[in-house]
Chains A and B, each alone.
Chain A
């Protein structure tokens, strides 16, 4: 069977012996909704894959419990002298899980692999113009322009062993077929794969030769994907699993009310927002206004913002667990604009006035598109919003669907207004500015998720300045300007930061990180 990884059998057997002799051996069984599609860290840039593989592979830098960047395979780094870019001084004495030594050649190989056309993570290396191995433990990443945030942006760039990958015909990520790295691993991280049955069960065991001090006490970790939320909760409450991410927020009280269980609540970095078809000439789904696009008028967009009763949404749909958002990143993310934390209040009368000023005293009808399986309570949110819009005369024709069908519709410009959630991959405000606020520019690969093509010349001008500014204070002023402009023009209606809700047995200590990644190395089973 290919489903059992034989390479790790010896290691697993060793662990089993340890279990037999050591009474404090701890198995952690955990569940989440989605199985990681692959064990190849460069093949798919998706949260389930990156989250899972962060337990097995490591990057040059890594994120701490508070999301801060800290040394990992690179012991330190500094800007290059005389040119743009960064020098990484690699950690010595690190070994891969198969015992081979880690050197700069492996970093070079992994860079080439991850930036290849076959890799899905290659966009991370768009700023990189050249990579040079200086010696066994020093490597330079040269960038085409000053890039102060480059080290922060590659925390999920995971390093593979060159000889292992090449020796197993996995020098490139698999695209339309599997290769050895799809089902097998060889990282430097704290855990390694003992067995994998995709979609059913994946077992991890500690990597005994890990370079860092292990603070966890897990001797075996068993992951099961459970797609149905109620089933997952039942599995936790019946004691068959120790930890689950996430649970539905309406069930929080039920879990907290039972002995032996706890709920971990936090804020994800994802901001949920409404977007508009800015550049459309006319509404696509209107029955009354078919020759104009009212959403091109900022007053109409502001009216829509004033129609939203975020307090009721919070109380009824989210049980008081969301934080209203003023901008496209939550507070605490670097670049968050402290100068612009206001948001349009719930004021239906003002909304009606604005609509009247814009020439729509009786409102108008339009199409609102929403996913129904992407964000927490996304469908319920849109139904509630449609009802609130209707109260001021904005008659939304709501259409909901699964994301597999939703993204193509957004790409094809098939909406008047739409729902979007955005989590800044680099944990910096520059990320949403690049993807959501800059005008669409296929050539420069900017504004690729700015579906409605919101466009402001000043914002476009500010983005490269933000990207290259080294001085944090000056950079923040530039960011503040972008936030002020987009708030003024109501480019989007930021609604709230998505809550993050995990549940575990009382005897499991773990850390909930804001990117929703679950790190086994911070788990203690008591």
Chain B
């Protein structure tokens, strides 16, 4: 097991390097940082000097080597836009994104798994049809439209919830959390629902499909025939068997949640990494974009590792093939 984890960690470093390389190779297509850093009256000559100072005239490979070299030494560089240290900028934004993502994921699981089971067990019920229809409509409207609609209904018309930002936050160590105040939760609710609605639908449909499949399998039928209580069959045997693909998707979901939080954060002015990333794209802030992507890659690698370990824990049959 230790060997397996070590091997995966080594692979992970390569994943992150590859992401950094890909990211770097595309930065020059995003636009010209210099024209975003200087005013209209700045002369072409001054712009060129700045370009030189920032090393933007160096060959691409050299720029990439410098970036990774600095990164390995713990030097994350300075933002072109704000001139601040990138490490600090990203670090202060991570809590907002993670809290949003985790709460969205929890909402999607807490609602998605029970409704999935319910709709699998009563496939012809009216409630089932209503749930399936509602969630379908929910995922058919683009996230940004849903977000703005929620803002106008609950923020403007009803006035129940804030329309933007994180509300009240509490500093715990270096972690700025909105989970410990009422205001924080009020601010978190709409963005988390917006972010979670797609994942919720996917979870529900997946649990439903797997569950229906398992319910038809021989051993469940056999169990029924033997008179094993239905509750026990449904929740102990059937649900447990749906978990391998569900965990795969949930692992993927967390990636999707983080990636899609870009849109949600932009709609709710949620001060997370996604919003920072969007601003950085606008200003072609290469150091921030680079570090953001490496950090995101790190999260993915971590989540994937956990998912793979969970596989092994849940389904011992997978152990042999994955370890060897």
A and B touch in the complex (CB under 8 A): yes
Residues of A within 8 A of B (CB): 1-3, 35, 37-38, 40, 43-46, 117, 120-124, 174-179, 182-183, 197-201, 224-228, 230-232, 234-235, 237-240, 373, 402-405, 407-408, 411, 425, 435, 442, 445, 448-449
The reply to whether A199 and B275 contact each other, CB–CB distance below 8 Å, is yes
Given A176-B83, A182-B83, A445-B44: 7 more A-B contacts, CB < 8 Å = A37-B81, A176-B78, A177-B85, A200-B271, A224-B165, A238-B156, A435-B40
Bound-state CA distance A38–B80 (Å) is 11
The reply to whether B38 and A234 contact each other, CB–CB distance below 8 Å, is no
Most buried by A among B41, B42, B85: B41
Bound-state CA distance A176–B37 (Å) is 11
Residues of A within 8 A of B276 (CB): 199
B194-210 interface code vs A (CB 8 A; 1 in, 0 out): 00000000000000000
Minimum-distance CB pairs A-B, first 8? A45-B39, A404-B31, A407-B35, A408-B32, A405-B31, A123-B41, A234-B163, A178-B83
Which of A176, A231, A442, A449 contacts B53, CB < 8 Å?
A176
Main secondary structure of the interface of A (DSSP, over half): loop
The reply to whether A448 and B43 contact each other, CB–CB distance below 8 Å, is yes
The reply to whether B156 and A237 contact each other, CB–CB distance below 8 Å, is yes
The reply to whether A404 and B36 contact each other, CB–CB distance below 8 Å, is yes
Residues of A within 8 A of B219 (CB): none
Closest CB in chain B relative to A399 CB, distance in Å = 15
Closest CB in chain B relative to A308 CB, distance in Å = 25
Residues of A within 8 A of B192 (CB): none
Residues of B within 8 A of A35 (CB): 279
Residues of A within 8 A of B165 (CB): 200-201, 224
Known contacts A3-B92, A445-B43; A404/B152 CB under 8 A: no
Bound-state CA distance A515–B275 (Å) is 28
Known contacts A3-B92, A238-B159; A45/B38 CB under 8 A: yes
Residues of B within 8 A of A200 (CB): 165, 271
Residues of B within 8 A of A449 (CB): 40
Bound-state CA distance A198–B171 (Å) is 17
Interface presence of B30 (CB below 8 A): yes
The reply to whether A37 and B82 contact each other, CB–CB distance below 8 Å, is yes
Closest CB in chain B relative to A185 CB, distance in Å = 15
Interface presence of B155 (CB below 8 A): yes
The reply to whether A425 and B31 contact each other, CB–CB distance below 8 Å, is no
Bound-state CA distance A240–B77 (Å) is 36
Bound-state CA distance A449–B42 (Å) is 10
The reply to whether A178 and B84 contact each other, CB–CB distance below 8 Å, is yes
Residues of A within 8 A of B171 (CB): 1
Known contacts A44-B38, A199-B275, A228-B266; A445/B45 CB under 8 A: yes
Report the nearest A residue to B271, measured CB to CB.
A200
Report the nearest A residue to B42, measured CB to CB.
A120
Bound-state CA distance A117–B92 (Å) is 32
Report the nearest B residue to A50, measured CB to CB.
B39
Residues of B within 8 A of A231 (CB): 148, 151, 163-164, 267-269
Residues of A within 8 A of B152 (CB): 234
Residues of A within 8 A of B155 (CB): 234-235, 238
Residues of A within 8 A of B32 (CB): 404-405, 407-408
Residues of B within 8 A of A230 (CB): 148, 151, 267
Bound-state CA distance A198–B82 (Å) is 8
Closest CB in chain B relative to A229 CB, distance in Å = 10
Kindly identify, within residues 56 to 93 of chain B, every residue whose CB is under 8 Å from any CB belonging to chain A. Answer: 78, 80-85, 88-89, 92
